[in-house]
Chains A and B, each alone.
Chain A
């Protein structure tokens, strides 16, 4: 037995390998990898009123992707993702850095800031709808105090996407803060001390020592936040239902809308859009891993 482990594989170990890998491979194969191929097939098919694929339509669905309407969906998705990633990383950072100081009460603050992480997309959306509802909005009340008239957060098409992005930032900040705070807690004190003795000033200390040292956490947070933003459905669906006038109809909402909303059952077009989402996701991941990760400093 002990020999076999360090030599090559034997039948018993091979059987064990198959046994151990089978559940994960079966699950992911049947519900992630195989459906990908099926999505390609569905994208070339027209569906009947019940959504059953009935006829081959070739590239018709893909041609519909080259319309101004779909272009607007993509632009909206890009804007939304950018807003969520920038604010969803900067805000937790602006909290994690002060939290990393050795001051009493920091653990309580950190725990409190993590609480929004418990909210599901639908729960957060409903609570924020109430927070912004003119009949009771504490947000509007504060704005009133400083003499600002609140916009129609979810009813004004210029504001709706920003509002939905803001709620998404609120939702992701808790987890991002946890990861960034853990990165800051793992900083090498000796390096910081050395930098201080060398007279590194605040900003310089932060940009050339702290940032590179926590770059793995930062990278992790950027990648996961991008994926979350790109795949947000609950917020636009519950808060605005894609409106007003399609102002919050992002790529994922559009897929949901084509396939499942009001029994639309347009599975072909939805699948084609799903493939676009996949390609966008893979491209973004490739860019992030290719460009950003090269600047990440692993110890």
Chain B
């Protein structure tokens, strides 16, 4: 470890051994999820499960066909929740962060602390009033109920404020002197210049929305058609005839978008988050 970046032969061998062992242990569940959906119960219900069994797509077809909580409408709901929350976070956070950084806002500092404080509030502490409020609005039966409490997010404001503050002041001044108004500066100069932070927030927000569990559980408890994939998979499990292949196929379906995002979006996540949070 003394030469952190240029290890000798022994060190590098030990490194590979440790990483391979860790990868096998940590990633076996992922392997089981993706492959298990293609295996019949006979191959799965063995100790250990036989991942080289008879591959079939029956479980996937079965998961898509199951009727307790149909997966396809739930897929639609999840996509709706993820995309709406992502777009809403981007819009509300960009505008608020812009005002906090580039507009001479009275109460600028207290407002920023207020946004920060909302990150600290555990969702479970306010979920009851929110549930009562959303129901009292009479929209408990629409998809809108799934996203309404999550359209703004303190973390988004915080992340973009950090990014906007790092934007070079000379560029801002040059734009102002050239007579560039706030809207044009925001859309044509600032936002393109802060792409990593915006992409990180987009990925993060979509993951938050897509993986949300507590709120959809509450909302869908009164209206089954509002199940998202997360609550639908839980219904697959509580269905007594729980067939592991069916469950794993269902989970793989819920994982498809997020696995792709994590695989291809992680460079953005790292760049966007580390700019503000790490240094």
A binding-site residues for B, Cβ under 8 Å: 1-2, 5, 8-9, 13-14, 16-17, 19-21, 23-28, 30-36, 38-39, 42, 51, 94-95, 97-103, 105, 109, 111-124, 126-131, 133-138, 140-142, 170, 173-174, 178-179, 181-183, 186-187, 189, 192, 196, 200-203, 205-206, 210, 216-217, 220, 227, 230-231, 233-234, 238, 251-252, 255-256, 259-260, 267, 270-271, 274-275, 277-278, 281-282, 285, 298-299
B233 at the interface (CB under 8 A from A): yes
Known A26-B152, A27-B151: A100·B2 in contact at CB below 8 Å: no
Instruction: Verify B127–A1 contact, CB threshold 8 A.
Output: no
Residues of B in contact (CB 8 Å), total 107
Interface residue from A19, A98, A196 paired with B15 (Cβ < 8 Å): A98
- Of A21, A203, A206, the most chain B CB neighbours within 10 A belong to A21
Residues on the B chain within 8 Å of A115, using CB:
27, 30, 259, 262-263
Q: Count A/B pairs, Cβ under 8 Å.
A: 322
Which residues of chain B in 7-27 are interfacial with respect to chain A, using CB atoms and an 8 Å cutoff? 7, 11-12, 15-16, 18-19, 22-23, 26-27
The minimal Cβ–Cβ distance linking B155 to chain A, given in whole angstroms, is 10
- Chain B minimum-CB-distance residue to A279: B125
Instruction: Verify A126–B247 contact, CB threshold 8 A.
Output: yes
Interface residue from B45, B105, B234, B270 paired with A21 (Cβ < 8 Å): B105
B84 at the interface (CB under 8 A from A): no
Instruction: Verify B278–A196 contact, CB threshold 8 A.
Output: no
The minimal Cβ–Cβ distance linking B262 to chain A, given in whole angstroms, is 4
Interface residue from A21, A94, A141 paired with B47 (Cβ < 8 Å): A141
- Chain A minimum-CB-distance residue to B27: A112
Task: Specify the main secondary structure of chain A where it touches its partner.
Answer: helix
Interface residue from B16, B104, B126, B259 paired with A32 (Cβ < 8 Å): B126
Residues on the A chain within 8 Å of B270, using CB:
178-179, 181-182
Spot the interface stretch: B54-62, B63-71, B95-103. Answer: B95-103
Which residues of chain B in 161-216 are interfacial with respect to chain A, using CB atoms and an 8 Å cutoff? 176-177, 179, 181-182, 207, 210-214
C-alpha spacing A34/B133, complex, angstroms: 11
Instruction: Verify B1–A20 contact, CB threshold 8 A.
Output: no
Instruction: Verify B49–A136 contact, CB threshold 8 A.
Output: yes
Known A31-B148, A230-B122: A138·B254 in contact at CB below 8 Å: no
Residues on the A chain within 8 Å of B262, using CB:
114-115, 117-118, 174
- Chain A minimum-CB-distance residue to B94: A20
Residues on the B chain within 8 Å of A227, using CB:
120, 122
- Of B93, B104, B133, B269, the most chain A CB neighbours within 10 A belong to B104
Residues on the B chain within 8 Å of A230, using CB:
122
Instruction: Verify A196–B279 contact, CB threshold 8 A.
Output: no
The minimal Cβ–Cβ distance linking B13 to chain A, given in whole angstroms, is 10
B binding-site residues for A, Cβ under 8 Å: 1-7, 11-12, 15-16, 18-19, 22-23, 26-30, 32-33, 36, 44-49, 88, 91-93, 95-96, 98-100, 103-106, 111, 114-115, 118, 120-133, 148-154, 157, 176-177, 179, 181-182, 207, 210-214, 217-218, 221, 230-231, 233-234, 236-237, 244, 247-248, 251, 254-255, 258-259, 261-263, 266, 269-270, 273-274, 277-279
Residues on the B chain within 8 Å of A17, using CB:
99, 103-106
Residues on the B chain within 8 Å of A278, using CB:
121-122, 125
Known A98-B18, A123-B233, A123-B254: A113·B266 in contact at CB below 8 Å: no
Instruction: Verify A179–B274 contact, CB threshold 8 A.
Output: yes
C-alpha spacing A46/B211, complex, angstroms: 33
C-alpha spacing A231/B114, complex, angstroms: 21
C-alpha spacing A170/B27, complex, angstroms: 10
Residues on the B chain within 8 Å of A98, using CB:
15, 18-19
Instruction: Verify A111–B266 contact, CB threshold 8 A.
Output: yes
Residues on the A chain within 8 Å of B179, using CB:
1-2
Q: A28-B118, A112-B23 are in contact. List 14 more A-B contacts (CB 8 A).
A: A9-B105, A16-B182, A20-B95, A36-B126, A118-B258, A131-B32, A134-B47, A136-B44, A179-B278, A205-B2, A238-B237, A260-B217, A267-B128, A281-B121
Known A1-B179, A101-B7, A277-B124: A136·B47 in contact at CB below 8 Å: yes
C-alpha spacing A170/B270, complex, angstroms: 19
Instruction: Verify A216–B279 contact, CB threshold 8 A.
Output: yes
- Chain A minimum-CB-distance residue to B44: A136
Instruction: Verify A127–B32 contact, CB threshold 8 A.
Output: yes
Instruction: Verify B128–A120 contact, CB threshold 8 A.
Output: no
Instruction: Verify A101–B5 contact, CB threshold 8 A.
Output: yes
Known A20-B95, A206-B1: A95·B19 in contact at CB below 8 Å: yes
Known A31-B130, A38-B129: A299·B279 in contact at CB below 8 Å: yes
Residues on the B chain within 8 Å of A34, using CB:
129
Interface residue from B177, B213, B247 paired with A121 (Cβ < 8 Å): B213
Instruction: Verify B213–A122 contact, CB threshold 8 A.
Output: yes
Instruction: Verify B46–A136 contact, CB threshold 8 A.
Output: yes
Known A21-B105, A131-B29: A136·B259 in contact at CB below 8 Å: no
Known A13-B103, A13-B104, A26-B152: A116·B266 in contact at CB below 8 Å: no
C-alpha spacing A109/B150, complex, angstroms: 34
Interface residue from B1, B133, B274 paired with A203 (Cβ < 8 Å): B1
Instruction: Verify B15–A100 contact, CB threshold 8 A.
Output: no
